[in-house]
C-alpha cells in the first residue's frame, strides 16, 4: 500500500554498526501535516533512524517511502524535499548568518533566492545581525539559525534532531508555535526530543529504546497502552520512603517529582495494597493519571531487562 | 536522470563559499603566500649547493715565483678563503683535523724549478671531504685556477711551457648554467616543490575539515553532487596555485635573474596539469583521513619522497635504481624536468610533452580513486 496521505511509510528499517544493531527493524507511518515526536534514551538510535530516512546512511534492511519516494533508491529526490536539522550544529561557523542562508538557498536552487534569504532573516529576527559570523552566536541562536536554514527551500518534510536542546523556554514556546503553524499549512514534522512537555505537544509520538520501537500513538494511546497505575505520595522523608516502597510487592517504579513521589505498577490492586497503609502514617496518597514520563521510565527499565 | 547531474549553480555555490572561507582564514591564506616566500629565501639565498669562500690554508714550500703566484691566485678566487699559510706538515695536519680549514694547498719545494723545466709538477690539494658536496666544485676549480694563475707568468720565452702546466688536465663543461649558479636550478624547481607542499595539504584539509566540523553531514543531506563539491573546492585552490607560481616566477626573473628561454604560456598550461595532480592527491588523502591531523600527516608522507626523490634535492641520476623507480611515479619528478626544460633550455611542446603524460596519468588514476572513495553517505 502506498498511501499518498503518508509522508513517511517505512518497514523493517535496520542498521548496524560493526555488528551492533542500532536500529532494529523499525516500522513507522507518519501522516502528512502531522507533528510526530520521536523519543528515547541516549543512544537508542533516533539520530541513526533520521539519517536512514534522508539517505545519509544506507539501511542494511528495510523498505518503504518517504514523501512517496523509495528510501533506498531515490534519496536524491528525497533530499530536495526534506529539511534535515542535525543534532550538532553543522552550518559554517566561519560564514556569517546571511552567507550560510544564502549558501543553502543556492545549493537547493531556491527561486528568488535573495528574497527568500531576506524573509528568512526577518522571520529569525536577525536582520541587523546578519553579518555576524555563525560561530559567534550563542547555542540557542545557532539552533534558530539552523531551523531557518532548513526551511529556506520550503521542504515538505522536516526532520529535526533535538532542535530545542539548550534553547530557553520562551524561545522554545515560539519555536513550537511556529512548528504548529507550519504543520497547519501542510508540512510534516518528525522531531526528536528529550522534553516531556514537547512530547505532549506532538500529534503523535513513538518511543524507541535499544533500537526498537516500544510504543507509538497519541499521548493518550501511549499512556493507556502502558497499563500503568500511578499514585502520588506527599509527606515527610520521601527519600527514606522511596527505599522502603521499592521493596514492596506491586511497586515497580518509584520516581521523585519535587515534593511528591510517583509510585507506579502494572497491577493496580497490588499497588493499592502496597501504598494505602501509608495514608494513616502522615502521608497524603492520591491515585493520579500516569504521565508520559512515568510510562517512558517504565518502558526504558523494562527494555533494559529484555536486553541484558 | 539529467535533472540530477552536475549543476553549475550548485557548483558555483561551493566555489563562492570556499572563497569566503579562504578570505576569513587569514592564517592559512598567509601560509599559502608565506611558504613560497620563505622557501625562496631559504633555497634562493641561504642554502647553496655550490658553496664558496671555503676556509683554506696554503703550505708553500717553494721559494720560487710560481709558488707565490699560485698563492695569490688562490687568495683571489671565490672558492677559497686563504686564512693561513702553514709552516710545516704537522701544522697542515692539525688544521685539517681540527676543521679550521677545509682545504690545504700544498706547493712542493721545487715547484718553480720543475714548471720551468716543463716537468708538470704535482700540486697536492688536501681536502676535508667529510661533506663531499661542499668540496666537489672547489676541487674542480683549483685545476683551472692553477692554469690561469701561471699563464700570466709564462710569457715570452716561457710561453711554450703553458701547454704543460697544471697538475692534471681536467676540463669541465657546464651546459646551460656555465657558472654553476645553483639558483638557476633551484628556483624553477621551487615552483614544483611549493605547489606540491601547499596544494596537497590545502585540499586534503579542505574536505577533511568539513567532516571533522560536522558540516559534511549537512552538505550530504542536500542535493549537491560529489563532483560539484570536489571541483567546487578545487577551483579556488587552482587560483592560489597560480598566485604562488606568479610570485616565484617574478622572483626568479627579477631577484635571481633566472633566464627564461622557453614559452611562458606553455609553462603555465603545464602548470595546470601539475596543480591538478597535486589536488587529486589531496582529495584522495581527504577520503582516507579521519581528521585534519591525519590529513596533514599523509600530506607530509607524500611530500618527503617528492622532495627527496624527484631530483630537487639530489641529482636524480645519482640515485639507486629503486629510488629512481619511485621517483618516476611522482609528478614532481616530471614537472621538474618540464620546468627546467622550458625555462633553462627553451624546450618547446614537442620536446617536453613526454614529461607531461606521466603527470596526466597519475592525475587520472588518483582522481578516479578519490571520486570512488568519496562517500555520499556517513557510513
Ligand atoms: N557512525 C557510527 N559508527 C558507529 N556507531 C555509531 C555511529 N553512529 C551511531 N552509532 C552508535 O549507534 C547508537 C545509536 O546512536 P544515535 O546517535 O542514533 O542515538 P540517539 O538516539 O540519537 O542518541 P542521543 O539521544 O544521545 O542523540 C549509539 O550506540 C552510537 O554509538
Ligand atoms: Mg541523537
**Per-residue pLDDT tens for A267-301?**
888 888 888 888 878 888 888 888 888 888 888 88
Interface probe, candidates A90, A104, A116, chain B, greatest B C-beta count within 10 A: A90
pLDDT over 90 (residue B141): no
pLDDT over 80 (residue B294): yes
Q: Is B113 exposed, middle or buried (0-12, 13-18, 19+ CB in 10 A)?
A: middle
Residues 184-223, chain B, touching A (beta carbon < 8 A): 213-223
Of B314, B319, B290, B285, give the one whose Cα is nearest residue B302: B285
Residue A296 lies in a domain: no
Q: What is the 3-state secondary structure (H, E, C) of chain A?
A: CCCCCEEEEEEEEEEEECCEEEEEEEEEEEECCCEEEEECCCCCCHHHHHHHHCCCCCCCEEEEEECCEECCCCHHHHHHHEEEECCCCCCCCCCEHHHHHHHHHHHCCCCCHHHHHHHHHHHHCCHHHCCCEHHHCCHHHHHHHHHHHHHCCCCCEEEEECCCCCCCHHHHHHHHHHHHHHHHCCCEEEEECCCHHHHHCCCEEEEEECCEEEEEECHHHHHHHHCCEEEEEECCCHHHHHHHHHCCCCCCEEEEECCEEEEEECCHHHHHHHHHHHHHHCCEEEEECCCHHHHHHHHHHHHHHHCC
pLDDT for the residue numbered B169: 36
Confidence of residue B173 (pLDDT cuts 50, 70, 90): very low
Q: Which residues of B touch A86 (CB under 8 A)?
A: 214, 217-218, 221
What total of structural domains would you count in chain A? 2
pLDDT for the residue numbered B6: 82
- CATH number at A276 reads 3.30.70.260
Instruction: Determine the Cα–Cα distance for residues B164 and B121; give it in Å rounded to an integer.
Output: 9
Q: Are residues A32 and A110 in the same domain?
A: yes
Instruction: Determine the Cα–Cα distance for residues B198 and B270; give it in Å rounded to an integer.
Output: 18
Q: Are residues A247 and A134 in the same domain?
A: no
pLDDT over 90 (residue B182): no
Of B83, B24, B37, B35, give the one whose Cα is nearest residue B58: B83
Neighbours of B114 (CB within 10 A): 17
Considering the entire predicted model, what is its pTM? 0.79
Distance in Å, CA B296 to ligand 1 centroid? 28
pLDDT for the residue numbered B343: 84
Distance in Å, CA A47 to ligand 2 centroid? 4
For chain B, give the mean pLDDT. 80
Whether B222 and A108 have beta carbons less than 8 Å apart is answered as: yes
Integer-rounded Cα Rg, in Å, for chain A is 22
Domain extent, residue A250, equals 229-289
Q: Are residues A235 and A199 in the same domain?
A: no
pLDDT for the residue numbered B137: 67
Q: Are residues A148 and A276 in the same domain?
A: no
Instruction: Determine the Cα–Cα distance for residues B339 and B42; give it in Å rounded to an integer.
Output: 20
Query: Domain end: A180, A201, A222, which one?
Result: A222
| Span B204-223, average pLDDT | 89
Residue A210 lies in a domain: yes
| Span A87-105, average pLDDT | 95
Q: Which residues of B touch A108 (CB under 8 A)?
A: 222-223
Residue A165 lies in a domain: yes
Q: Which residues of B touch A57 (CB under 8 A)?
A: 377-379
pLDDT for the residue numbered B134: 58
Distance in Å, CA A285 to ligand 1 centroid? 41
| Choice among A21-30, B65-74, B286-295 with the minimum mean pLDDT | B65-74
Of B7, B21, B218, the CB nearest to A90: B218
pLDDT over 70 (residue B378): no
Q: Are residues A212 and A250 in the same domain?
A: no
Residue A307 lies in a domain: no
Query: Domain end: A163, A193, A222, which one?
Result: A222
| Span A73-97, average pLDDT | 93
Q: Is the CB of A193 under 6 A from ligand 1?
A: no
- Using CA atoms of A73, A78, A84, A87 in order, give the dihedral in degrees to the nearest 10: -10
Residue A294 lies in a domain: no
The answer to whether B378 contacts A51, with C-beta atoms less than 8 Å apart, is yes
Residue A83 to chain B, least CA–CA distance (Å): 8
- A86 interface with B at CB cutoff 8 Å: yes
Query: Domain end: A222, A254, A274, which one?
Result: A222
Q: Are residues A218 and A234 in the same domain?
A: no
Ordered structural domains, chain B, with CATH: 54-175 (3.40.1710.10), 182-378 (no CATH)
- Ligand (nearest to CA of A15): 1
Q: Is the CB of A188 under 6 A from ligand 1?
A: no
Instruction: Determine the Cα–Cα distance for residues B52 and B46; give it in Å rounded to an integer.
Output: 13
| Span A146-155, average pLDDT | 93
* Cα distance between the two ends of chain B: 25
| Span B310-338, average pLDDT | 87
Whether A234 and A242 have beta carbons less than 8 Å apart is answered as: no
Whether A112 and A153 have beta carbons less than 8 Å apart is answered as: no
pLDDT for the residue numbered A106: 95
Q: Are residues A176 and A247 in the same domain?
A: no
| Span B108-112, average pLDDT | 81
Residue A305 lies in a domain: no
Distance in Å, CA A50 to ligand 1 centroid? 11
Please name the residues in contact with A68: beta carbons below 8 A apart, sequence gap of 6 or more.
A2, A4
| Span B10-21, average pLDDT | 93
Q: Are residues A164 and A279 in the same domain?
A: no
| Triad B197, B198, B202: Cα angle to 5° | 125
Confidence of residue A139 (pLDDT cuts 50, 70, 90): confident
**pLDDT tens digits, A208-233:** 999 999 999 999 999 888 888 899 99
Instruction: Determine the Cα–Cα distance for residues B106 and B85; give it in Å rounded to an integer.
Output: 10
Residue A45 lies in a domain: yes
Q: Are residues A234 and A204 in the same domain?
A: no
- CATH number at A24 reads 3.40.50.300
Q: Which residue has the higher pLDDT, B36 or A161?
A: A161
Residue A270 lies in a domain: yes
Q: Is B2 exposed, middle or buried (0-12, 13-18, 19+ CB in 10 A)?
A: exposed
Confidence of residue B165 (pLDDT cuts 50, 70, 90): very low
Q: Which residues of A touch B17 (CB under 8 A)?
A: 92, 95, 99, 103
pLDDT for the residue numbered A11: 95
Q: Are residues A153 and A263 in the same domain?
A: no
- B26 interface with A at CB cutoff 8 Å: no
The secondary structure of B177-237 as a DSSP string is -TT--HHHHHHHHHHHHHHHHHHHHHHHHHHHHHHHHTHHHHHHTSS--HHHHHHHHHHHH
Q: Are residues A93 and A38 in the same domain?
A: yes
Q: Is B350 helix (H, G, I), strand (E, B) or coil?
A: helix
Most confident of A56-60, A243-247, B248-252: A56-60
pLDDT over 60 (residue B168): no
Q: Is the CB of A42 under 6 A from ligand 1?
A: yes
pLDDT over 60 (residue A62): yes
Place of cell 629503486: B322
Q: Are residues A178 and A255 in the same domain?
A: no
Amino acid at each position: 500500500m502506498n498511501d499518498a496521505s503518508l509522508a513517511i511509510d517505512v518497514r523493517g528499517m535496520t542498521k548496524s554498526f560493526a555488528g551492533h544493531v542500532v536500529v532494529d527493524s523499525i516500522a513507522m507511518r507518519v501522516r502528512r501535516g502531522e507533528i510526530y515526536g520521536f523519543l528515547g534514551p541516549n543512544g537508542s538510535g533516533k539520530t541513526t533512524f533520521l539519517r536512514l530516512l534522508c539517505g545519509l546512511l544506507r539501511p542494511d534492511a528495510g523498505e518503504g517511502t518517504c514523501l512517496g519516494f523509495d528510501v533506498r533508491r531515490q534519496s536524491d529526490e528525497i533530499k530536495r524535499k526534506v529539511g534535515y536539522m542535525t543534532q550538532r550544529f553543522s552550518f559554517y561557523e566561519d560564514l556569517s548568518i546571511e552567507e550560510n542562508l544564502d549558501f543553502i538557498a543556492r545549493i537547493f536552487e531556491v527561486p528568488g533566492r535573495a528574497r527568500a534569504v531576506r524573509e528568512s532573516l526577518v522571520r529569525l529576527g536577525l536582520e541587523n545581525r546578519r553579518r555576524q559570523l555563525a560561530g559567534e552566536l550563542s547555542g540557542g541562536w545557532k539552533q534558530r539559525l539552523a531551523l531557518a536554514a532548513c526551511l529556506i527551500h520550503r521542504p515538505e518534510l522536516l526532520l529535526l534532531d533535538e532542535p530545542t536542546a539548550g534553547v530557553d523556554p520562551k524561545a522554545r514556546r515560539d519555536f513550537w508555535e511556529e512548528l504548529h503553524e507550519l504543520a497547519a499549512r501542510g508540512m510534516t514534522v518528525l522531531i526528536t526530543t528529550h522534553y516531556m512537555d514537547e512530547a505532549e505537544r506532538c500529534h503523535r509520538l513513538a518511543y524507541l529504546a535499544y533500537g526498537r520501537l516500544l510504543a507509538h500513538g497519541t499521548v493518550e494511546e501511549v499512556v493507556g497502552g502502558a497499563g500503568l497505575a500511578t499514585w502520588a505520595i506527599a509527606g515527610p522523608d520521601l527519600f527514606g520512603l522511596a527505599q522502603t516502597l521499592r521493596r514492596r510487592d506491586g511497586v515497580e517504579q518509584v520516581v521523585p517529582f519535587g515534593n511528591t513521589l510517583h509510585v507506579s505498577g502494572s497491577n493496580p490492586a497490588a499497588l493499592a495494597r502496597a501504598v494505602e497503609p501509608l495514608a494513616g502514617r502522615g502521608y497524603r496518597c492520591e491515585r493520579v493519571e500516569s504521565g508520559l514520563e512515568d510510562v517512558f521510565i517504565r518502558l526504558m527499565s523494562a527494555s533494559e531487562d529484555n536486553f541484558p | 536522470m539529467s535533472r540530477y547531474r552536475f549543476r553549475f549553480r550548485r557548483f558555483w555555490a561551493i566555489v563562492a563559499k570556499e572563497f569566503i572561507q579562504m578570505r576569513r582564514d587569514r592564517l592559512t591564506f598567509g601560509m599559502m603566500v608565506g611558504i613560497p616566500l620563505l622557501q625562496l629565501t631559504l633555497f634562493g639565498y641561504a642554502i647553496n649547493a655550490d658553496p664558496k669562500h671555503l676556509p683554506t690554508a696554503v703550505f708553500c714550500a717553494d721559494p720560487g715565483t710560481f709558488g707565490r703566484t699560485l698563492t695569490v691566485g688562490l687568495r683571489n678566487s671565490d672558492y677559497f678563503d686563504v686564512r693561513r699559510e702553514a709552516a710545516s706538515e704537522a701544522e697542515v695536519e692539525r688544521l685539517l683535523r681540527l676543521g679550521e680549514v677545509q682545504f690545504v694547498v700544498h706547493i712542493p719545494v721545487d715547484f718553480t724549478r720543475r714548471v720551468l723545466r716543463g716537468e708538470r709538477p704535482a700540486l697536492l690539494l688536501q681536502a676535508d671531504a667529510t661533506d663531499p658536496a661542499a668540496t666537489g666544485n672547489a676541487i674542480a676549480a683549483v685545476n683551472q685556477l692553477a692554469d690561469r694563475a701561471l699563464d700570466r707568468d709564462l710569457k715570452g720565452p716561457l710561453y711554450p711551457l703553458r701547454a704543460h702546466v697544471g697538475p692534471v688536465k681536467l676540463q669541465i663543461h657546464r651546459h646551460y648554467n656555465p657558472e654553476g649558479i645553483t639558483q638557476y636550478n633551484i628556483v624553477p624547481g621551487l615552483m614544483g616543490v611549493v605547489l606540491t607542499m601547499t596544494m596537497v595539504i590545502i585540499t586534503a584539509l579542505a574536505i577533511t575539515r568539513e567532516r571533522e566540523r560536522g558540516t559534511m553531514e549537512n552538505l550530504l543531506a542536500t542535493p549537491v553532487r560529489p563532483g560539484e563539491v570536489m571541483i567546487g573546492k578545487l577551483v579556488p585552490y587552482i587560483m592560489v596555485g597560480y598566485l604562488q607560481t606568479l610570485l616565484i616566477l617574478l622572483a626568479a626573473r627579477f631577484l635571481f635573474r633566472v633566464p627564461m628561454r622557453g614559452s611562458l604560456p606553455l609553462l603555465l598550461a603545464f602548470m595546470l596539469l601539475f596543480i591538478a595532480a597535486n589536488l587529486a592527491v589531496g582529495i584522495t588523502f581527504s577520503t582516507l583521513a579521519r581528521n585534519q591531523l591525519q590529513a596533514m600527516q599523509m600530506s607530509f608522507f607524500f611530500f618527503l619522497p617528492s622532495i627527496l626523490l624527484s631530483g630537487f634535492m639530489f641529482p636524480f641520476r645519482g640515485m639507486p635504481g629503486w629510488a629512481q623507480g619511485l621517483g618516476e611515479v611522482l609528478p614532481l619528478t616530471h614537472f621538474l624536468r618540464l620546468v627546467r626544460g622550458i625555462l633553462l633550455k627553451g624546450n618547446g611542446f614537442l620536446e617536453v610533452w613526454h614529461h607531461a603524460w606521466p603527470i596526466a596519468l597519475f592525475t587520472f588514476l588518483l582522481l578516479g580513486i578519490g571520486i570512488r572513495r568519496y562517500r555520499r553517505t556517513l557510513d
